Amino acid sequence: MIQFNLLPDIKIQYLRANRQKHTVVLISAAVTVVSVAALAILLVTVYVLQKKSMSDLNSDIKTFSSELQSTKDLNKILTVQNQLKALPQLHDGKPVASRLFTVLKQATPDKANNVHSATDFTAHTITVNGAADSLNTVNVFIDRLKATMYHTPDDSTGGSVDKPAFSQVTLSAFGRDSTTATYTITFNFDEAIFSETNDVTFTIGQKQAKTDTTNTENN
């Protein structure tokens, strides 16, 4: 069977263009509908749902604020909580004062007796009052304090760091009679010797006095 196309070429191109135009219009309409729907959803989310959510949150904040404000002794409770949080740091930073008794016991000559000692951990000073059989014994005590060294482990080398424990050792006051000599000795100390984080060993002349951090903590 033989078919003849009696339409001119211009007519064929016109019909084809109409079909393409119809397709484009349909696609554009579909895209427009989807865009409008998405915009509507966004508008509902922003102006309805989000406003409601913010309103609910503000209401909750007001409710909880009222409950907190009505709590009895709220300021005291918060103060105690803050103090409890600070306790671990204060514990780690407290000086191991018992080490002083160890080093003084080692440095004090046999014929001297320390009656009272006072330590100022802010100014890093120590004052020792006592009595001895003579001023010569007091001078021996002072020389031992000046020569006292302390040693802490050096993790980088595996050895130890050696430093003078005390400085500016001074006989600030003294008295004497026919049998005894009283003294007041003041000196500065390196704060590292009382640090909770350091294991410290003292050397006075040929003697060593090692402090046990664990024992001093338990005491």
Whether residue 205 is found in the same domain as residue 102: yes
Domain total of the chain? 2
Residue 167, strand partner residues: 188
Whether residue 114 is found in the same domain as residue 32: no
| Both structure tokens of 203 | 């050397």
In a domain, 81, yes or no: no
In a domain, 177, yes or no: yes
Whether residue 107 is found in the same domain as residue 211: yes
Residue with tokens 């020792």, as numbered in its chain: 128
Percent of the chain whose pLDDT exceeds 90: 26
Q: With beta carbons less than 8 A apart as the criterion, state whether 151 and 191 touch.
A: no
Q: With beta carbons less than 8 A apart as the criterion, state whether 200 and 99 touch.
A: yes
pLDDT of residue 188: 94
Q: Averaging pLDDT over each range in 10-14, 54-58, 90-94, 168-172, which range is the top one?
A: 168-172
- E strands in the chain: 112-120, 125-132, 149-153, 160-164, 166-176, 181-189, 201-204, 207-210
- CATH number for position 213: 3.30.1360.100
Question: What distances in angstroms separate CA 102 from CA 138, 145, 179, 200, one per listed residue?
Answer: 19, 13, 28, 11
Whether residue 104 is found in the same domain as residue 38: no
| Structural domain range at position 20 | 7-46
Whether residue 105 is found in the same domain as residue 202: yes
| Cβ-Cβ contacts under 8 Å for 101 (sequence gap 6 or more) | none
Whether residue 110 is found in the same domain as residue 214: yes
Q: Which amino acid is at 33?
A: V
Whether residue 26 is found in the same domain as residue 128: no
Whether residue 102 is found in the same domain as residue 210: yes
pLDDT digits (tens, 9 = 90+) for 115-168: 999 989 889 999 999 999 999 999 999 999 999 998 888 766 666 778 899 999
Whether residue 197 is found in the same domain as residue 133: yes
Query: What's the rounded Cα separation, in Å, for the pair 50 and 69?
Result: 28
pLDDT of residue 137: 93
Lowest mean pLDDT: which of 52-56, 100-104, 203-207? 203-207
Whether residue 42 is found in the same domain as residue 102: no
In a domain, 82, yes or no: no
pLDDT of residue 22: 83
In a domain, 110, yes or no: yes
Whether residue 150 is found in the same domain as residue 212: yes
Do strands 112-120 and 207-210 pair parallel, antiparallel, or not at all (unpaired)? Answer: unpaired
Give backbone dihedrals phi and psi of 128, rounded to 5 degrees, phi first: -120, 125
In a domain, 13, yes or no: yes
